[in-house]
């Protein structure tokens, strides 16, 4: 499979180059030349497959031409060494719990897959010293860092906004040591993302060192996120063995920031997954909702919210969505609707859901859950993506529900380590000089 750039000046790029480069030279995002539609028989019996088996079928459709079957299988099986259960919350609303991986957020899926695929290509090529740059609003950093921890020949630099990630999130990428370096940037997530993007197009830097990105701009991170949409469907089917395929068509609500997760869902639908429609749920950073309402895309500086992993003012993957729908505003609004909630609404929802159903949401999942409560019709089944474990936002969640939240063992382990990070300004020259000096 070849990849082209959303800016259309670059095409015919191999999977390996797309993964190693991250961002195309024309600053666009890579897209696969085609999206294979999976056979109806796959969907008819999908509930009989394990998560890993169905994920391998999906992975094969994207990567099968470029990665040997055995190697790809190993990558998929190692990536998905944890469950993604679909849990009934109330009425016709289900939570797809994506937080059972090593760092307790959905980004483990893409982070683990990408680190392994990149490792595969590097080993094949015999090259070493690849530098992975990753900007994080909280959860990407830890997922990517953990995916790459101890992998030979790879150095990881995690850029995060000072004071804008939760203390638990921070300790997940600042305490690892080895080949992981945490860079604390005096700015916002958007500033971190801008630094990473500038580094990729800086000629001098690219001459001196091999740089790649592990943000959802990387195809190896965002495409694997389509796996769990299929698994959600298989589980919904198992819940309702009597429903017809039409009745099983899902409404999927994705708490969105950089829009990589929802884009993977849109790809899954293109592959034939029965999704009736998508809801993109935003916090106050509602650039996409404004686009849906006005047909104009106007990036704005992000504002800080309690669903901090979605504090994104210029979502990278918007370019992919536009491209996927042939730039048609009408086609986009036909399949995707949007909502935006402020912190008070998010807190209210988290508290009400907990009191009424006993189900504990995290602030991001709360945005998705609320959207389904407001927008789902009675004859529809709605699934929201529960993108991170509530304990990752301990203080916020405990303050809202007025109770202690149990911290999973995995998370407690991270909290024992010692924080180590380097401070940087948001000035690109500072970052560049630092990279050149290491
Ligand atoms: C990253 C993240 C999101 C946003 O996902 P995108 O793919 O950037 O839209 C939502 N919730 C949590 C917990 C996250 O870590």
User: Which residue owns the Cα nearest ligand 1 atom 1?
Assistant: 309
pLDDT mean over 11-32: 92
107 is catalytic: yes
- pLDDT at residue 195 is higher than 80: yes
- pLDDT at residue 295 is higher than 90: yes
Hey, how many other C-beta atoms are within 10 angstroms of the C-beta on 351?
Answer: 16
- pLDDT at residue 415 is higher than 80: yes
| Average pLDDT value over all residues in the chain | 94
Pocket test for ligand 1, best of 107, 282, 393 (most atoms within 8 A of CB): 107
Tokens (6 digits) for 302? 């992000």
Phi, psi of 90 (to 5 degrees): -160, 155
Which of 286, 262, 267, 248 is closest to 379 using CA atoms?
Answer: 248
- pLDDT at residue 127 is higher than 80: no
Give the pLDDT of residue 395. Answer: 93
Give the pLDDT of residue 434. Answer: 97
Distance 244 CA to ligand 1 centre (A): 32
Give the pLDDT of residue 194. Answer: 94
Distance CA 414, CA 102 (A): 10
Q: How confident is the model at residue 323 (pLDDT cuts 50, 70, 90)?
A: very high
Q: What pTM was computed for the model?
A: 0.91
Distance 241 CA to ligand 1 centre (A): 31
Q: How confident is the model at residue 303 (pLDDT cuts 50, 70, 90)?
A: very high
Distance 127 CA to ligand 1 centre (A): 32
Hey, how many other C-beta atoms are within 10 angstroms of the C-beta on 179?
Answer: 18
User: Sheet harboring 130-135: ordered strands across?
Assistant: 210-213, 130-135, 154-161, 180-185, 422-424
Whether ligand 1 lies within 6 angstroms of the CB of 316 is answered as no
Torsion angle, alpha carbons of 296, 372, 377, 288, to 10: 10
Whether ligand 1 lies within 6 angstroms of the CB of 113 is answered as no
Q: How confident is the model at residue 159 (pLDDT cuts 50, 70, 90)?
A: very high
Angle at the Cα of 119 from the Cα atoms of 114 and 125, rounded to 5 degrees = 130
Give the pLDDT of residue 129. Answer: 83
Whether ligand 1 lies within 6 angstroms of the CB of 265 is answered as no
In words, the CATH class of domain 54-106+222-409 is alpha beta
- pLDDT at residue 126 is higher than 90: no
């Amino acid at each position: 499979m070849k990849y082209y750039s959303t800016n259309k000046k670059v095409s015919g790029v191999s999977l390996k180059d797309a993964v190693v480069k991250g961002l195309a030279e024309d600053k666009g995002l890579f897209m696969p030349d085609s999206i294979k539609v999976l056979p109806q028989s796959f969907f008819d019996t999908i509930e009989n497959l394990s998560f890993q088996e169905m994920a391998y079928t999906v992975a094969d459709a994207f990567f099968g031409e470029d990665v040997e079957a055995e190697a790809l299988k190993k990558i998929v099986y190692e990536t998905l060494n944890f469950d993604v259960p679909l849990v009934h919350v109330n009425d016709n609303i289900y939570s797809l719990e994506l937080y059972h991986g090593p760092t307790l957020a959905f980004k483990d899926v893409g982070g683990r897959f990408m680190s392994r695929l990149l490792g595969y290509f590097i080993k094949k090529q015999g090259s070493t010293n690849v530098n992975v740059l990753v900007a994080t609003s909280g959860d990407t950093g830890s997922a990517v860092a953990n995916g790459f921890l101890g992998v030979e020949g790879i150095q990881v630099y995690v850029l995060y906004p000072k004071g804008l990630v939760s203390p638990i999130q921070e300790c997940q990428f600042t305490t690892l040591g080895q080949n992981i370096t945490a860079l604390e940037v005096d700015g916002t997530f958007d500033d971190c993302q801008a630094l990473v993007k500038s580094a990729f197009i800086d000629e001098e830097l690219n001459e001196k060192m091999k740089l790649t990105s592990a943000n959802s701009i990387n195809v190896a991170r965002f495409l694997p996120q389509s796996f769990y949409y299929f698994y959600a469907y298989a589980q919904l089917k198992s819940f309702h063995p009597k429903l017809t395929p039409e009745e099983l068509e899902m409404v999927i609500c994705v708490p969105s920031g950089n829009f990589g997760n929802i884009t993977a869902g849109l790809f899954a639908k293109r592959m034939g997954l029965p999704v009736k429609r998508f809801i993109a749920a935003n916090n106050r950073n509602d650039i996409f909702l404004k686009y849906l309402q006005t047909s104009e895309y106007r990036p704005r500086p992000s504002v800080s919210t309690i669903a901090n992993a979605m504090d994104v003012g210029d979502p990278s993957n918007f370019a992919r969505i536009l491209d996927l729908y042939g730039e048609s505003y009408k086609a986009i609004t036909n399949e995707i609707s949007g909502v935006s909630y402020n912190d008070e609404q998010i807190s209210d929802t988290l508290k009400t859901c907990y009191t009424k159903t006993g189900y504990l949401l995290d602030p991001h999942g709360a945005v998705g859950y609320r959207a389904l409560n407001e927008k789902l019709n009675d004859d529809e089944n709605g699934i929201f993506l529960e993108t991170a474990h509530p304990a990752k936002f301990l203080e916020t969640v405990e303050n809202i529900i007025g109770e202690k939240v149990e911290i999973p063992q995995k998370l407690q382990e991270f909290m024992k380590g010692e924080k180590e990070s380097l401070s940087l300004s948001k000035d690109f020259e500072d970052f560049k000089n630092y990279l050149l000096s290491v």
